[in-house]
Structure formats: structure tokens, C-alpha cells
Amino acid sequence: MSIENELNQPISEHTLKRDSMEGKRGWGLFALVAGPVITLALLAGACAEPTPKLGNHNVPFIRIEKIEDTNGDGVYDWTDARAQNGVDSVPLLDMNGQREREDGTADPNEPFRITEKDKKLILVRVCTLPVLPKYDVNGSGHVTQVDVDIVEENIGETVPESENPNARLDELRGIIIDGNENNPAKRNHRIEFDTVMGTDPACEKTPNGS
């Protein structure tokens, strides 16, 4: 038995069997080499930390290395984040969490940055109640000119974002410590009303915030 190839030359049954065996050996060698590589790749993908779904990227994404209630109030918020990262941590000075140009104009194509808008948001809260942790930058228990000055010193700074984030900046209104705090999909948050209710009697509008 024989068939013809593209050049109309007869091909013997022996040649067909030999080519078939060589083809099988070739695929067998490929499977032997590629199999472990593919398996390792799949295992690496399975073991890699998945990126949590944090919603629309309309606020800075941050990474909290350890959700720790530093003051024992039952939540992880701006106060705890600043205790861990410092009062001048740039992401924690972004009061409005918007993408902006250097002049403060909103622009979805720009990075998140500290602008005059952030300063003004704290300025209008100086010596007011309630004292929200977001505006009490230095953790004094009052919103004073000192807090305004810290933000002013960082105007123009671009907000750096983590390559492996696990939280949104606006979650710092208060992540409740209830056992779900480390799971972005199951976290519970404190409800916070950002409304001025009165004047802080222990605070005076002085340059040093005393």
C-alpha cells in the first residue's frame, strides 16, 4: 500500500508508520517538558494573593499592612492609619480624594494630589464639632490651624498609590473591628456624618492652634 505526497511521489506504508512514531515521540517529549512548567505556572497563579475588588478607582487605593485599633475605639480609621504611617503621610492628607491638576481642577486623567482644595476642607472645620479624625491630622483631639498647616506644606504632592492595594482611602471613615476587617469583601464600616454641628469650646482659632 502506498499514497502520493505533494510531488505525486509514492509514499510507502513503512514510511508513514515511521513518521507517525516520530511524531508521537515528539509530542511525548513536549508533554514531558512542558507539563511541569504549565503545572508550576498554574500553582503559582493559585498561590498568588488575589487583587481585591475595590470598586471604581475614583479615590486613591492604599495598602494597610496591619489593621490595628491603636486607640481602642473599635474601628480602624484615619487616627490609626496616621499612628502607623505618620501625620505627614501624603495619602492621608488627601481630604477630597480626587484626581486633580495642580491648580485643583478636577481631571480624570490626572493623578490624585494634594491641592488648595484639601487645605480649604480642613480650614472650614477648624474649631468645629464634631471633631472628625479625618480633619484632626495631628491627633490632638481638636481641628486647629496646625492641621491646616500640615496639609498646606504638602500642597502639590502627588498621592502615591500601592501596587498591591487592599483598601480604598474613603474606608478610613472607619473599618469596624469585628473579625471581618481583613476581608475587603466583607468589611463593615462606621457611618460618619460630615456635618458641622457646633463650635469646639476648647479650641480657639489661633496660629498655633492652642
- 75 & 129 share domain: yes
State the pLDDT at residue 192: 87
pLDDT of residue 161: 86
Give the residue from 110, 157, 118, 115 showing the smallest Cα distance to 135.
118
The pTM of the full predicted model, rounded to 2 decimals, is: 0.73
Q: Which amino acid is at 124?
A: V
Indicate if 21 and 69 belong to the same structural domain. no
Does residue 169 lie in a domain region? yes
Residues of the chain with pLDDT under 50: 1-4, 6-7, 16, 27, 29-33, 36-50, 207, 210
Does residue 34 sit in the same domain as residue 113?
Answer: no
Rounded to whole angstroms, how far apart are CA atoms 81 and 69? 9
| 209 assigned to some structural domain | no
Residues 16 and 93 in one domain: no
The predicted pLDDT at position 70 comes to: 96
Task: Report the C-alpha gap between 138 and 69 in whole angstroms.
Answer: 17
Query: Using CB atoms within 10 A of its CB, is residue 87 exposed (0-12), middle (13-18) or buried (19+)?
Result: middle
pLDDT of residue 47: 44
pLDDT digit string, tens, across residues 173-186: 999 999 999 999 99
Side chain identity at residue 2, one-letter code: S
Both 23 and 83 in one domain: the answer is no
For residues 18 and 78, membership in a common domain is answered with no
Residue 133 lies in a domain: yes
Helix (H) or strand (E) run with residue 148 in it: helix 145-152
Beta strands, E only, 116-174: 128-129, 167-168
Q: Provide the 10 A C-beta neighbour count for residue 131.
A: 18
- pLDDT attached to residue 68: 95
Q: Which tens digit of pLDDT belongs to each residue from 140-156?
A: 999 999 999 999 999 99
180 and 85 within one domain: yes
DSSP 8-state class, residue 93: G
> Do residue 81 and residue 132 come from a single domain?
yes
Say whether both 146 and 61 belong to one domain.
Answer: yes
Enclosing domain of residue 112: 56-203
Total count of domains within the chain: 2
Query: What pLDDT sits at residue 209?
Result: 52
Q: Is 17 in the same domain as 73?
A: no
Gap between the Cα atoms of 151 and 63, Å rounded: 21
Q: How far apart are CA 4 and CA 68, in angstroms?
A: 77
| 11 and 77 housed in the same domain | no
